Amino acid sequence: MSEIMRAAYVIARRDFSAVVFSKTFFFFLLGPLFPILIGMAFGGLGEKISTTDLRPIVGIALPAADAARIERTHAILTERMGPQALPRLRRVATDETPAALLARTDSGVAAILSGSIDRPRLTGKAADIDRLEGDVSLLVSATNATESLRMIPVERHEVATSRGAQAQAQMLLGRVAQVVIFFLTLILAGMVLSNLVEEKTNKIIEILAAAVPIDAIFLGKLLAMLAMSFVGILFWGGSALAIFLATRDPATIIATPAVGWTAFIALGVAYFTMAYTLLGSLFLGIGAQAATVREVQTLNMPVTMAQMLIFFFASYAVDHQGSAADVAAMIFPWSSPFAMIAHAAYDDAIWPHLLALLWQAIFVAVIIRVGVLLFRRHVLKSGGAGWRGLFRRRSAWGA
């Protein structure tokens, strides 16, 4: 084992230096910041597009007094429920029939409310009526009710703790941690796919294979990419923290994870490492079979899809705590890191994490062994022990 670790370190050091001291690494670091900067620059505009402009418009063809009442109610409800809750309203001419108005190319409305507040009538295509009927009915009912009901103020009674609210906030925190780990593995682990292609195209693999165990080559490459990922994470994390602190609303309260912040961050690092190495070792094994960069590129899409599936599975499990899906997500090696970091947010037990990390580490070792076996068999064309030799050191290294 010490020889494998020594050789893995030599390989990892070479790969790490080759990547980190290359000119392209600068763009790698800046890459993930582009969407954030663009998002900040165009965020306001995007928000307007997504929340306001895309809401359907209902034409109001009511008598002027009724139209004014319903517009007032719309404003009150929008203030309480948010701008995207209700369709927009626009007054239209009352001297034409709703059907005629809707037939005009410049009408700009999805449906037309006519009649009166007491006997409203909604005209539109069946599908538009289906989606707008409920909102319009609510608006009209509220318009009538504001004149007969009065608002009763709620008495405020504050408590220091609320387990339900805390649980919800922790679940949200767990989900955020899941998303962060997922995105980091999504953008970082995929790079491992092409990691052995350089050695194969430059014929260096022969030199490596003659000098060190193949396990060490795989492990070294994985460690190098992991170390490079941590450099990126430190940079992006530092940038994100700086932006957060600079733009933070002092009133914002972030839930404390169940295991505490120190343990949560440590577990986050550990689970990212595991998620990365689990996926990375799989990708390395698959990528090692590829002979050219083109083959690796072809593999990229299905690999990304597989990652998405795993993430959706783990996300689903968070919403169904204690269910069979939750247990399966914790056990299935590739979803386990995502499921477990969410658990760390809302469950204070530490021992399941130690168990999970051990379980995941075992799988990393198994995947590397399988990758090595396939590499030896299909790339080096070496026969030998077959699947029975999965856990046995190759004969060239001795039993």
Partner 1 sequence: MTGNSTNMILAVEAHGLVKTFGAFRAVDGIDIAVPTGAIYGILGPNGAGKTTLLRTLLGIIDPDEGHRSLLGQDAPLRMAAQVGYLPEERGLYPSMKAYDAIAFMGALRGLPLKTGRERARALMTTHGLADAIDKPVRQLSKGMAQTVQLLGTIVHGPRLIVLDEPFSGLDAFNQGRLEALIREQARSGVTILFSTHVIAHAERLCERVAIVAGGRIRFEGTVAAARDRLRPQVRLRTRAIDGGWRRALPQDAVAEGGAWHFGLPALGIEPLLRALLDGHAGIESLSIERPGLHDAFVAIVGEAAARQMDGEDAR
**Nearest to 93, CA basis, from 55, 67, 118:** 67
37 interacts with partner 1 by CB under 8 A: no
Q: Which of 54, 127, 152, 210 binds partner 1 (CB under 8 A)?
A: 210
Contact 271/341 with Cβ under 8 angstroms?
yes
If the CB atoms of residues 163 and 381 are measured against partner 1, the closer one turns out to be 381
Question: With binding defined as CB under 8 A, does residue 207 bind partner 1?
Answer: yes
- Binding string to partner 1 for residues 142 to 181, with x set by CB under 8 A, is what? ----------------------------------------
Of 209, 227, 210, which Cα lies nearest the Cα of 218? 209
Q: How far is CA 23 from the centre of its chain?
A: 29
Please identify which residue in 127, 383, 387, 391 interacts with partner 1, judged by CB under 8 A.
Answer: 383
Q: Are residues 367 and 281 in contact, defined by beta-carbon separation less than 8 angstroms?
A: yes
Look at residues 229, 228, 254, 224 and name the one whose alpha carbon lies nearest to residue 241.
254
Region binding partner 1 by CB under 8 A among candidate stretches 168-176, 185-193, 195-203, 328-336: 195-203
Q: Do residues 198 and 22 touch, judged by C-beta distance below 8 A?
A: no
CB of 221: closest distance to partner 1 in angstroms?
A: 13
Nearer to partner 1 by C-beta: 97 or 395? Answer: 395
**Residue 255 to residue 177: CA distance in whole angstroms:** 12
Asked whether position 378 contacts partner 1 by CB under 8 A, the answer is no
Position 292 contacts partner 1 (CB under 8 A):
no
Among 2, 202, 247, 262, interactor with partner 1 by CB under 8 A: 202
Closest approach of partner 1 to the CB of residue 384, in Å: 4
By the rule CB under 8 A, 381 interacts with partner 1 = yes
The site for partner 1, by CB under 8 A, has a size of: 35
Residue appearing with tokens 């386990």 = 336
Binder to partner 1 among 77, 196, 209, 341 (CB under 8 A)? 209
The torsion defined by the Cα of 47, 53, 56 and 57, in degrees rounded to 10, comes to 140
- Shorter beta-carbon distance to partner 1: residue 199 or 326: 199
Residue closer to partner 1 by CB (options 223, 310) is 223
Report the residue from 169, 205, 345, 364 that binds partner 1 according to the rule CB under 8 A: 205
- What ranges in the chain are assigned the alpha helix state H? 2-20, 24-30, 33-48, 64-81, 98-103, 126-145, 163-189, 197-201, 205-211, 214-247, 261-289, 293-319, 324-331, 336-346, 351-374
4 near partner 1, judged by CB under 8 A:
no
Cβ of residue 374: shortest distance to partner 1, in angstroms? 14
Q: Is 203 in the site for partner 1 (CB under 8 A)?
A: yes
How far is 123 from 111, CA to CA, in rounded Å? Answer: 5
The one among 133, 147, 206, 348 contacting partner 1 by CB under 8 A: 206
The burial class, CB within 10 Å (0-12 / 13-18 / 19+), for 135 is: middle
291 near partner 1 (CB under 8 A): no
Q: Does 394 bind partner 1 (CB under 8 A)?
A: yes
Give the contact letters, 358-377, x = binds to partner 1 (CB under 8 A), - = no: ------------------x-
Window 58-117: residues binding partner 1 (CB under 8 A): none
Indicate whether 140 belongs to the interface with partner 1 (CB under 8 A). Answer: no
- Which lies closer to partner 1 via its Cβ, residue 164 or residue 383? 383
CB atoms within 10 A of CB 142: 15
Dist. CA 225–CA 240, nearest whole Å: 22
What are the structure tokens assigned to 85, written together? Answer: 């809750």
Q: Does 397 bind partner 1 (CB under 8 A)?
A: yes
Which of 260, 264, 306, 250 is closest to 282 using CA atoms?
Answer: 306
φ/ψ of 23, rounded to 5, equals: -65, -30
Distance (Å, whole) CA 284 – CA 219: 10
Q: Which is nearer to partner 1, 3 or 348 (CB)?
A: 3
Task: Give me Rg for the CA atoms of the chain.
Answer: 30
Residues forming a β-bridge with 60: 91, 113
As measured in angstroms, the least distance from the Cβ of 21 to partner 1 is 9
Site for partner 1 in 6-25 (CB under 8 A): 6-7, 10-11, 13-14, 18, 22
Instruction: Give me the residues that bind partner 1 (CB under 8 A), please.
Output: 6-7, 10-11, 13-14, 18, 22, 198-199, 202-213, 376, 380-385, 394-399
